[in-house]
Structure 1
Amino acid sequence: MLTGSNANSIYDSIAGTNKKMLDELNNELSKKYKSEAYTFHSLVDYDDFISGVEQAIELHSINLTVIGTNGATGAKEVIFGSNTLQLIRSVNCPVLTVPENYSFSSIKNMLFSIQKSNDPFATKVDIIKNMLKMHPCNLKVLELSGNITTSLDREDSETIKALFPNQAYEYYFLNTDLGLTAINTATQLLKIDLHAVYSEKETFIKRLLYGSEVSRLSYDTLVPLLFL
C-alpha cells in the first residue's frame, strides 16, 4: 500500500522529466511568439492519453485539439488506432491533424468536404467560421455522394447556404464517396492549404471488416486536416 508521500514521489519521478522538458519548450515558444495574440501553457497529467486529453478539454474549455501524424499504417493501426485516431474517434472536440514534415504556409484556400447524407455537421462549423475570421481566405465547399442511381442537383443546397450566410464560397460536387483519392485530388487541383471534413464515428466492427477511411485520411492527407 502506498502512502501519500510515496505516491507523490513516484509521480514526481515519472512525470518530473517530462514536465521539465515541456516547461522548457513552453518558455522557448513564449519568447519566440511573444508578439502574438496568444499564450502558451504546459499541462502534465499522469493518466492514459485519451482520458488526459478529455479532462484537459473539459477543465480548460478547449475549442480545438491539434496533433501531428507520422504516416504509420498497418492492420493494427486501422483496427485499434494510433493516438491520433483514438483522439479523432473519442473526444468531443474538433481535431486538427498536421502531417509529418509539413511546413506552415499562409492559408489562401480552405476546403470543407461533406457527404450528401450528412446532416449533423450543421452544428459543427463554428470552428470553420472562426478560422475564416482569423485567416481570411477562399472557402471551397466540396459535396460528395456515392449514390450513382440518384439524380442530384449540382448546385449547393439551402442547408449549405444557411451554414455560411455571410461568407462567399465556391461550390463543387463529386459523385463519389469520401475517399482518400478523391480528397487528395481535390486538394491538389484546388490548391488547398487547409481541409475540414465532417467524420461520423466508426464502430469497431466496421473498422475490423472494412478498414477505416478516417485512418487513411488522417495518415495520408497532403495538408492539415480538420475533423469536425
Structure 2
Amino acid sequence: MIFLIQQKKPNRNKTKHNTAMKKILVPTDLSEISLKALDVAADLARNNGAEITLLQVKIFPSASLGTYYSMGVAVPFDTAWKGVLDDAQKELDGLITNPKFLGLKIKAVVEESVENFESTLLKHHADLIVMGSTGATGIKEMFGGSHAESVVRHANCPVLVIKGNQEEYHIQKVLVATDMENTDFMKKAFKWLNMPEIEYHFVYVDTAMRQINYDALKEDMKKVASKLKLKNYHFEIWDGANVEEGILDSAHQIKADLILMYTHGRTGLAHWFKGSIAEDVVNHSDIPIMTLS
C-alpha cells in the first residue's frame, strides 16, 4: 500500500525536509489496518526526513500467555510472560526488515504495561502519531470508544487516523472542518502537508441552532485564506442535523481523501457531557482523518 503525495519539484542541489516532523509514532497490533498505518507513516517519513518508532504495547497479563499453557508445558509464569514479549519483539524486528522500508530509520519497540494502551502510548513524545482504526459504535462507543478516539482526545501532537480498505491512499482533496473560531491549527497542518496541488475544501456546518450571518462567514473565510496564503480554495456552508453528520456528509459529497479537524481534547466530566466532535468523526468516518489541538 502506498500513500501518494503530490509534491513540488525537488531541489536538485538539496532536499528540504520539514523540520517540524522528526519523530513519527506508529502503534500496532499487527492487524491489517495498523500495517496500513505503518505504510502511510513510511511515506511521510521519507518526505519529511523523519524516523519512525513502531510500538506494540502488551498489557499484563495478556491473553497471549494462553499460548504457552495450552501446549501443556509447565513453565513459570514469569518465563511465559518473557516468552510473549520476546516473540512480539522478534515479529516486529522481522516486519521492519521488509525491503519496502529500505533507507528508513525504524525502531521496533515492545513495551509491557499494567496500564491501558493509550497511557503507555502517550508516554512516547512524538511529532505525529499515525494509527489505524476501524472505529467504534453502539455499546463499545458508549462505554469506551475506540483506541483512536482516546488517543485523539489526549494526544498533545497531531494524530493521523487511517481508515478504510484502500490499497493506495491519495491526498488530492482535503476537507477542512472549521467553526471560524479555531484556525491556528490549519497553518501547522498545511505546513506538514506542503502540497500545493491539493484542493482544500473548507466546510462550516449550519445546524440551525443559532442565527448565522452568511456574508460575515464568507468574509471571515477570506481573511483565513489570506492569512494562510491560499489562492485556490473552496468554501461551503453545509446544512446538517449535527456537526458530525454535516462533516461526514460533505466529505463524501466532495469525495475527500482526508478530513482535517481541530480537537478540544476534553477529558473527565467535560468530555462526558460535551464530548468531542473530532472523536465522534474518528469513530464513524471511513475516510482518513488528521486531528490537531
**C-alpha contact (below 8 Å) 1:68/1:100 kept by paired residues:** no
**Structure number having the greater strand percentage:** 2
Q: Could you tell me which of 20, 23, 46 is aligned with 2:112?
A: 46
**C-alpha contact (below 8 Å) 1:78/1:212 kept by paired residues:** no
Task: State the partner residue of 1:3.
Answer: none
- Sort the Cα spacing of 1:212 and 1:124 in 2 relative to 1 into closer, same or farther, 3 A: closer
Task: State the partner residue of 1:69.
Answer: 133
Task: State the partner residue of 2:188.
Answer: 126
Query: Is residue 244 of structure 2 the alignment partner of residue 180 of structure 1?
Result: yes
**C-alpha contact (below 8 Å) 2:263/2:277 kept by paired residues:** no
Task: State the partner residue of 2:212.
Answer: 150
Unaligned runs of 5+ in 2: 1-75
Q: CA deviation at 1:136?
A: 3.7
The DSSP-based 3-state class of the residue aligned with 2:102 is coil
- Sort the Cα spacing of 1:223 and 1:184 in 2 relative to 1 into closer, same or farther, 3 A: same
- Sort the Cα spacing of 1:71 and 1:50 in 2 relative to 1 into closer, same or farther, 3 A: closer
- Normalised TM-score (structure 2): 0.61
Task: State the partner residue of 2:264.
Answer: 200
Unaligned runs of 5+ in 1: 1-5
**C-alpha contact (below 8 Å) 1:78/1:211 kept by paired residues:** no
Task: State the partner residue of 2:162.
Answer: 98
**C-alpha contact (below 8 Å) 1:144/1:177 kept by paired residues:** no
CA distance in 1, matches of 2:224, 2:143: 33
Amino acid at match of 1:127: A
Q: Percent identity?
A: 19
**Structure number having the greater helix percentage:** 1
CA offsets 1:157-206 (integer angstroms, 9 cap, x no match): 16522541255322222355763321222112222111101122234445
CA distance in 1, matches of 2:241, 2:108: 40
Please provide the CA RMSD for this pair: 3.1
CA distance in 1, matches of 2:236, 2:167: 27
- Normalised TM-score (structure 1): 0.76
Paired residues, number: 212
**C-alpha contact (below 8 Å) 1:65/1:96 kept by paired residues:** yes
